[in-house]
Amino acid sequence: MSGSNWNLGSSQAETRLKNDPVIKDLQDTLASSFHQTLPDEGGYAILDFPNYSNIGDSAIFVGAAILCRNHFGRGPEFVCEADLRQLDRIAKLDPSLPLLLSGGGNFGDLYPRHQQFREAVLSRFPDRKIVQLPQSIHYENAANIQSSAAVINAHAGFTLMVRDHASRDFAREHFSCETLLVPDMAFMIGAVAPTAEPPLAILGLIRRDKESVLSGVDDLEGLPKPFEIVDWPAEQNYPSLIERLPRSIRAMLPPRLQDRKPETPTAYEFLARKRLETGFAILSRGEMVLTDRLHAHILSILLGKPHVVLDNSYRKIGNFADAWTDQAGFVRADSTADAIELIKGAAPSE
């Protein structure tokens, strides 16, 4: 059984007092990393906007938007998704603008579309300042490592920010670029009050994708009741915000009609904030949280929620906690049985 000296049964007020210094330290580290890497004035662009239902990536974007506005004193000149058709639009931007690639956990070959896009950006713009915002790195195929290294090593102005020691060590072994250990951007959101009194004793936010290590949610039937097991919800429809057709249909339209949607930086940030609000509302439903998602862990810290963490398939959460969050109000579990035992043994919150 893993854990810390933290009492899982502590009240939310006690948990918040435990978490607030951690949040402040990580915000200071994020600000320092920007001052080290980027000019503190002028414009910039953010590429690879997360226009999908993973709320954690929306939290990253919102945090990055806050930090960028603090640092540059303005919003971005341009925002786009990971779409190779955007390269021509990027080429029309002022060449002095730094290109910031959104952070997350998709650096490597688990999510090829995002890696292909960032490598295309590096290849197309070899003379521009490009910064990869904090990522976790994971490759399953050695040939893909070599392919990425060839692109990265050919770029003279690339800075790679990574979220954990394992990713930093990997990058320094395989890539010839400036590599910085930097916390996740979501911490720039700061402490947040829960949206409502929790109706549940336990809210389990559990992965149902390729990174999950659970055989099924039935493994968690021993949790104290009332509990609920969910994952980030499927994409919600915001037709009045980003009026878009599926890419496959839009591609069949005449070129003059394909871009008739408000792809503005303001619209993108608003969309990310709406998704983030959904995430905070979900986690607020539990007096305590159980999760194997990194950003459910991070958002629980911001909410002051006592929580138990199970790791994902390649130890993304454990590596991150080792680097940044071990002093926060949560405990780690080695297995679902371990997690249930920890939760059952926790004194009820007052």
**Could you tell me the mean pLDDT of each successive run of 10 residues in the chain, 350 residues long?**
67 92 98 96 95 93 98 96 95 97 94 96 97 96 97 97 97 97 98 93 87 65 89 65 48 53 78 93 96 96 96 84 95 88 72
Of 136, 114, 138, 112, the C-alpha closest to 184 is 136
Map residue 217 onto helix, strand or coil.
helix
Name the strands in the sheet holding 286-291, side by side, starting at the edge strand that comes first in the sequence.
Answer: 227-230, 200-205, 286-291, 307-309, 330-332
Q: What pLDDT was estimated at residue 72?
A: 97
Identical fold for domains 38-181 and 200-236+273-345, yes or no, is yes
Torsion of the alpha carbons at 227, 233, 234 and 236, rounded to the nearest 10: 130
CATH topology of domain 38-181: Rossmann fold (3.40.50)
Whether domain 200-236+273-345 has CATH 1.25.40.10: no
Query: For residue 226, is the peptide bond before it cis, meaning its omega torsion is within 30 degrees of 0?
Result: yes
74: left (phi over 0), alpha (psi -120 to 50) or beta: beta
Q: What pLDDT was estimated at residue 215?
A: 56
Burial class (CB in 10 A: 0-12, 13-18, 19+), 54: buried
CB contact at 8 A, 69 and 101 = no
How many other β-carbons are positioned within 10 Å of the β-carbon of residue 347? 10
Characterize 134-166 residue by residue with b for buried, 16 or more Cβ atoms within 10 angstroms of its Cβ, and e for exposed. Answer: bbbbbbeeeeebebbbebbeebebbbbbbbbeb
φ/ψ (deg, to 5) at 332: -105, 150
Return the domain boundaries, the chain.
Answer: 38-181, 200-236+273-345
Beta strands in 292-337 (DSSP E): 307-309, 330-332
